[in-house]
Each structure stands twice: as structure tokens, then as C-alpha cells.
Amino acid sequence: MKAIVQERYGSLDRLEVSEVSVPAVGAGEVLVRVQAASLHPDVWHVIMGRPFVLRCMGAGALRPKQPIPGTDLAGVVEAVGEGVTRFQPGDEVFGDTVSPNVWTHGGTFAELVAIPEDRLQPKPAGVTFEQAASV
């Protein structure tokens, strides 16, 4: 699959489109085909690696621990892991990969992302994927 990849901190011109492996879907996780992802100040700060304290909070001291940036998404469920009860393939969802006080999240700037079930909500029918990803 294709993803926007960040091998080191810095300006947006350091981001590259690369082929990466499809993420494995673990127990309690949902594999989502991303239709839209948003860029907001938190993501920009992690891409830039500034302020430096973000690196100390878990983003990675010298280079990003999570090479695929992005936290907010909207998309369609492709598969579900063991124990997932709220979603099934074909469901439209939105959510984020943020775990409170942990700066290693990310992964939504890709065609597919595996995300814990509790980080997703059903996308309302009257809301576009782009709108849902920006909530």
C-alpha cells in the first residue's frame, strides 16, 4: 500500500510517498481504508519535531518512532480483529489514533490503518469523509 512516510524530522518537503506493508489487524482493532485524513497543528508539530519536548514525550528523540504521520481519519472498514463487536467490513467510520498523553500515535496518512475499535465512531450518513476526518 502507499503511505506518506517521514524518516526524519523537518519541513514537509521531507515527506515521501512510499510503498509500505499493510498493517496487521490485532485483537480489538479495525482495519480502515482511509478516504480522508486531516492535518492539524499537533500533527505538524510532530512532523517538524518541535517543540523538542514532544520528542521526549515519546515521539522519538532523533527520528519519529511512527514513520507514517497523521492522527485523524475517516474511511471504510476493511476487516476487524478478534473481539471487535461494533463494526464490520463496509461500515463507514471516523476517529483518531491518539492515545492520551502518548506521542507515538499516527499512521493515518496511508491507504490503510489498523486502529483500536474504541478510537472509532460510525460516520453519520449526511457527513462527507472530508468533514468527518476534520472533526
Length of the chain: 135
Tell me the mean pLDDT in the region 98-127: 86
Percent of the chain with pLDDT over 70: 94
Query: Residues with Cβ < 8 Å from 41, sequence gap 6 or more?
Result: none
Q: Which three cell numbers stand for residue 112?
A: 490503510
High-pLDDT (> 90) share of the chain, %: 61
Give 82's contacts (C-beta < 8 A, 6+ positions apart): 27, 28
Domains and CATH numbers, the chain: 2-123 (3.90.180.10)
- Residue 92's Cβ-side half-sphere holds a number of Cα atoms within 13 Å equal to 13
Mean pLDDT of 48-59: 77
Peptide bond into 64 cis (omega under 30): no
DSSP, residue by residue, 51-116: STHHIIIII-SSS-SSSS---EEEEEEEEE-TT--S--TT-EEEEE-PPTT-------SBSEEEEE
The per-residue pLDDT for 55 is 74
Residue 45 clears pLDDT 90, i.e. is over it: no
| Helical (H) or strand (E) element with 35 | strand 29-38
Q: Are 32 and 108 in contact (CB under 8 A)?
A: no
Closest CA to 73 of 117, 113, 133: 133
Confidence of residue 125 (pLDDT cuts 50, 70, 90): very high
